[in-house]
Amino acid sequence: MVYLDMDIRKLIKNYQTPPNGQEIIKCGNILLIAGVSGAGKDSIKHKLVSGKKYGDIISHTTRPPRVNNKIIEKNGIDYYFSDVTTVANMLENNEFIEAKLVHGTIYGSSIKAMQDALKKGIAVTDVDVQGVDEYKNISSSVKAVFVLPPSYEEWISRLKNRYETKETYLHDWPKRRESAIKEINMALKSPHYYFIVNENLDEAVKEIKKYSERSDYIYNDEPARTVAHNILKKLNF
């Protein structure tokens, strides 16, 4: 079957986590990493899954592999790179936990990828704030962090380093800005998150491990929330 754009949008809009997927979320130990683009979500996730306790919920995507820090993404490690027809068939067969259409690209976490990740103990993935809400609506035991850069200026510097030219950065900036405003606003209004500033990667990972592994861990994320408000002010200026 040839899937048109409107077919895909309808499939994703109407998609609901199937009962077997919901049961896995309710019973599993799951950590979700959200945050603005460039905050270091991927670096944190890679650091976590390099150990024995965290398993990566490897997402499917319909975009081609990208080059990050001069290294091209690998299929089955960074993402499962799939064509639109394959992903659409998986949606129709209820094989996903959740799926999103982001700027014309499909991203989704499959039930099998979740099961594979949970074999290590704690399943971890990076998602947007809408994805966090969907997981939390199924199970309140799911834990979620919202990662921030230490400042607006540092964030801009990190974003610029992702681009080969100033022109491509400037082309994408309006989209990045709009997305960041939306994500930070939604996260600040939500009770779901532990906010954390990623100034030092090892320290950020250490704090996230305490939060995700210890039920008695008491954290104070007010300083990180202040950073979020400060970044938001500069974005809205």
Burial class of 224 by CB neighbour count within 10 A (0 to 12, 13 to 18, 19+): buried
pLDDT tier for residue 69 given thresholds of 50, 70 and 90:
low
Element (H, E) at 162: none
Provide the sign of the torsion angle of the four alpha carbons 118, 121, 126, 129, taken in this order. positive
Strand bridging mode 54-56 / 60-61: unpaired
As a whole number of angstroms, the distance between CA 34 and CA 6 comes to 28
Q: Which of 79, 122, 108, 85 is nearest to 212 (CA)?
A: 122
Which residues are within 8 A (CB) of 34 and not within 5 positions of it... i.e. 6 or more apart?
Answer: 41, 126, 127, 128, 129, 131, 132, 144, 145, 146, 147, 183, 187, 193
**Confidence check: pLDDT of 226 > 60:** yes
b/e code 194-217 from CB counts within 10 Å (16+ = b): bbbbbeeeeebbebbbebbeeeee
- The reported pLDDT for the residue numbered 2 is 46
pLDDT, position 103: 73
> In which band, very low, low, confident or very high, does the pLDDT at 3 lie, cut at 50, 70 and 90?
low
pTM for the model stands at: 0.89
What is the predicted pLDDT for the residue at 4? 56
Question: For 201-223, what is each residue's pLDDT tens digit?
Answer: 999 999 999 999 988 888 899 99
pLDDT for the residue 224: 96
Inter-residue contact 55 to 123 (CB < 8 Å): yes
Work out the percent of the chain whose per-residue pLDDT is above 70: 97
Pair of tokens at residue 55: 């398993």
Q: What is the CA radius of gyration of the chain?
A: 18
- pLDDT one-digit tens code per residue, 190-204: 999 999 999 999 999
Q: Which CATH architecture has domain 5-235?
A: 3-Layer(aba) Sandwich (3.40)
Residue type, 50: S
* Other Cβ atoms within 10 Å of 84 Cβ, number: 16
The per-residue pLDDT for 63 is 92
119-170 pLDDT per residue, tens:
999 999 988 898 899 899 999 999 999 999 999 999 999 988 888 889 988 9
Q: Could you give the angle at which helices 19-27 and 129-138 cross, rounded to 10 degrees? A: 90
Strand, coil or helix: 63: coil
Bridge-based pairing state of the strands 54-56 and 122-126: parallel
Contacts of 89 (CB under 8 A, 6+ apart): none
Q: In Å, how far are 49, 89, 157, 198, 219 from 228, measured between CA atoms?
A: 26, 39, 17, 12, 17
